[in-house]
Amino acid sequence: MAALGARMLCGTTNMHLGCGHSPRWRYREEDMAKTIRYFFEHPPIHTPALCVRGIGIREPMRPGIVDRPAGTGDILIMFFYDETIIRTARGTRRHPPDSLMIWPRAAGHYYGNPDKAWTHSWTHCDGTAIRHLLARERLPVNVAIPNINAVGVEHYLMDLHLELTGGNPPDAVIIRNIFHNWFREIRRRMQPRENQPATPPQLLNVRWYMEMHFAERLTLILLARQACLSAPHFCAEFKRYFGVAPIEWLIRLRMRQAAYLLRDHNLRIVDVAEKTGYPDRYYFSRLFKKRFGISPLAYRRTAGSS
């Protein structure tokens, strides 16, 4: 990672979706091909309560180790996409992909991979508000946190980046809330529901993809391939973690969206069908009636009078 004071760098990254890597879908379509690395020479918000000094999203690194015995004098939050050697309060060892570290101000930093290239996302931040939120959510510092979802990390870092650089004066309350929501999400990932294993990241990513692309032609084979599983295995795993088969989950998602769109009287029934992934309006109407017990037109009349 570059020294403090470096300028923002944006470039393209490989959005490979094949097996061997969990599929990663970025927060905003226009930013899907970008790597972001930004250090603020003059942080837009710099108070004793809150300061963000830099943000990096999917920054690629050459083989090597970063060794800062004295740290950087702030709080460093870093997510690793690849297997990485990290020195924590528990010693120095290799940690699996999707690990996250929170280094406190007084800690040194030692991380990287001397054998192959690696990628990370990060933010340098500080302030009493950050420290209070970390303590409030009981997040461990100087300890590697496993099984953190990359999509969530990029989501919150992109929100921070846009709030700080979007052109309007950044709002300290919004910045604090972004950190708070992120920290709560990390805590939730650390506490799987009782008697239920944590959901594998590749299944979460596939479900997120379905939510973003529900209007497109999504086949079981396509979704299984993106999860790097056979179709039968994908179906079984999806139902195990989400309680319903993937195609049934997709239909429910489309029908919820259709019910929302039907409230707009400027949209024809055929328009709603196409916007929810059904070019055949008659097939759409049959599915809708099966789900809600009435036709799309009758639903629109009922919703309009309620």
Q: Are 259 and 300 in contact (CB under 8 A)?
A: no
Q: What angle do CA 262, 265, 270 make, to 5 degrees?
A: 60
Tell me which H or E stretch contains 201.
helix 201-212
Q: How many CB atoms lie within 10 A of CB 123?
A: 25
Q: Are 56 and 125 in contact (CB under 8 A)?
A: no
pLDDT value of position 25 = 36
Owner of token pair 């809708």: 288
- Distances 239 to 92, 149, 232, 256 between C-alpha atoms, Å: 38, 20, 11, 20
Give the tokens for residue 101.
Answer: 């570290």
Of 250, 259, 253, the C-alpha closest to 289 is 259
Q: What is the widest separation between alpha-carbon atoms in the chain?
A: 68
pLDDT value of position 303 = 74
**Does the model's pTM come out above 0.75?**
no
Owner of token pair 């970063």: 66
Give the tokens for residue 4.
Answer: 């403090």
pLDDT value of position 306 = 55
Cβ neighbours for 301, distance < 8 A, ≥ 6 positions apart: none
pLDDT value of position 302 = 84
Strand partners of residue 103: 76
pLDDT per residue, tens digit, the chain (306 aa), is 433 333 343 333 333 334 544 433 333 444 434 688 989 989 999 999 999 999 999 999 999 999 999 999 999 999 999 999 999 999 999 999 999 999 999 899 999 999 999 999 999 999 999 999 999 999 999 999 998 988 889 999 999 999 998 878 999 999 999 999 999 999 988 876 545 667 888 898 899 899 989 999 999 999 999 999 999 999 999 999 888 999 999 999 999 999 999 999 999 999 999 999 999 999 999 999 998 999 999 999 887 665
Instruction: Show the domains of the chain with their CATH numbers.
Output: 9-190 (2.60.120.10), 201-305 (1.10.10.60)
pLDDT value of position 150 = 87
R_g (Cα) of the chain, nearest Å: 22
pLDDT value of position 228 = 92
pLDDT value of position 141 = 96
